[in-house]
């Protein structure tokens, strides 16, 4: 695999027109004792048409909850309490469930983290694609089956006509992920949300899936929200990056800018963990762990793990500082116009 630095420089610039504009998104979960805690706290970002935005952070940072909030699939004890999700001119946060079903799966496709769980084990892959086509009024009968086979062929499933009659358990992990991508693309959405699409896949299959996502983005003129903990994947795939920690976005920048000049100590720590930066030495690790939901500190959520923390870090949540026109950092040490390094 090429280096993250060189990969970041290969991504092409997308259109600047936003397809998705998220502002102030907040999702809370009920805790014991009647308390509530925000797993996603006042999160704002955009995804341009034809753009790939990488949403990155450790497990527990709030990435997957953000994704599920966008398509209104948060289940109790969780609930959205605020924010706007403007997609193709509609505020998804204000749609009723009937209207939302016309968006979910039709205009926004979703590649779930665990295809074995997301795919229905009692129906064949082909049936599940055909059903999606029929639900959205796109094809029925023999035409739907032909389209299902075409989609499986498009995502490089070998012998797609035969595999369409297979059940999920009959497919390898890589083929299940390809089938999941085909299902997400069935209604030709304009945005696909991919939640850790290469988790639990070996390196070879991971590279194939990433290559497939790139091809699908070009072939179907997609925008992509790519959720991952792997900065190598972000460098290879994303035009821009939003780094998430403690339910908040702590840094946003173009991929090249973020890799060249990371502004938040958390981002710097994530980059330092990349094996290629160890140069044959010991791997660097960020001390500590992500606190459980409801136990984040009152100020900067990263302060207990930060080597640069100051007393003011614990006093209040830092605001975003624009270190350049396209690079924002949520850190008291960030200096406006300084290029991103505290």
Q: Is 252 helix (H, G, I), strand (E, B) or coil?
A: strand
What is the pLDDT at residue 115? 83
What is the pLDDT at residue 16? 55
The C-alpha angle 18, 21, 26, rounded to 5 degrees, equals 165
What is the pLDDT at residue 8? 43
Q: Mean pLDDT by 10-residue block, N- to C-terminus, for the chain (342 residues)?
A: 41 63 97 94 96 95 96 96 96 95 93 87 96 93 96 95 96 93 94 90 87 91 94 93 97 96 95 72 84 92 94 93 95 77 48
Quote the pTM value.
0.90
Match 């064949």 to its residue by tokens.
124
Sheet strands (E) in 255-315:
none
CATH number attached to the domain at 4-245: 3.40.50.300
Say how far apart CA 216 and CA 224 lie, in whole Å: 10
What is the pLDDT at residue 201? 80
Q: Strand 327-329: give its sheet, edge to edge.
A: 108-111, 191-195, 223-228, 52-56, 240-245, 248-254, 327-329, 321-324
What is the pLDDT at residue 189? 95
């Amino acid at each position: 695999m090429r280096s993250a630095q060189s990969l970041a420089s290969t991504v092409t610039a997308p259109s600047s027109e936003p397809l998705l504009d998220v502002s102030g998104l907040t999702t809370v979960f009920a805790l014991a004792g009647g308390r509530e805690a925000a797993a996603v706290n006042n999160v704002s970002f955009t995804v341009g048409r034809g753009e790939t935005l990488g949403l990155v952070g450790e497990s527990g940072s709030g990435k997957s909850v953000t994704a599920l909030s966008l398509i209104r699939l948060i289940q109790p004890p969780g609930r959205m309490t605020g924010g706007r999700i403007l997609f193709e001119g509609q505020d998804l946060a204000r749609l009723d469930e009937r209207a939302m079903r016309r968006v979910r799966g039709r205009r926004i496709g979703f590649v779930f983290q665990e295809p074995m769980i997301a795919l229905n084990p009692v129906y064949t892959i082909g049936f599940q694609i055909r059903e999606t086509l029929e639900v959205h009024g796109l094809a029925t009968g023999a035409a739907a089956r032909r389209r299902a086979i075409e989609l499986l062929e498009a995502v490089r499933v070998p012998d797609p006509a035969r595999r369409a009659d297979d059940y999920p358990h009959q497919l390898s992990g890589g083929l299940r992920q390809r089938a999941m991508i085909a299902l997400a693309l069935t209604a030709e959405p304009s945005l696909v949300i991919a939640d850790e699409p290469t988790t639990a896949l070996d390196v070879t299959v991971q590279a194939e899936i990433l290559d497939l996502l790139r091809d699908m983005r070009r072939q179907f003129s997609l925008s992509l929200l790519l959720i991952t903990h792997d900065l190598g994947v972000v460098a290879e795939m994303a035009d821009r990056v939003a780094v998430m920690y403690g339910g908040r976005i702590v840094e946003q920048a173009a991929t090249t800018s973020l890799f060249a000049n990371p502004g938040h100590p958390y981002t710097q720590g994530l980059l330092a963990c990349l094996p290629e930066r160890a140069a044959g030495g010991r791997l660097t690790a960020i001390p500590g762990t992500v606190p459980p939901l409801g136990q984040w500190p009152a100020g900067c959520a990263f302060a207990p793990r930060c080597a640069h923390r100051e007393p003011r870090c614990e006093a209040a949540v830092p605001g975003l500082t624009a270190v350049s026109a396209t690079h924002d950092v949520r850190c008291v040490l960030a200096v406006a116009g300084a290029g991103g390094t505290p």
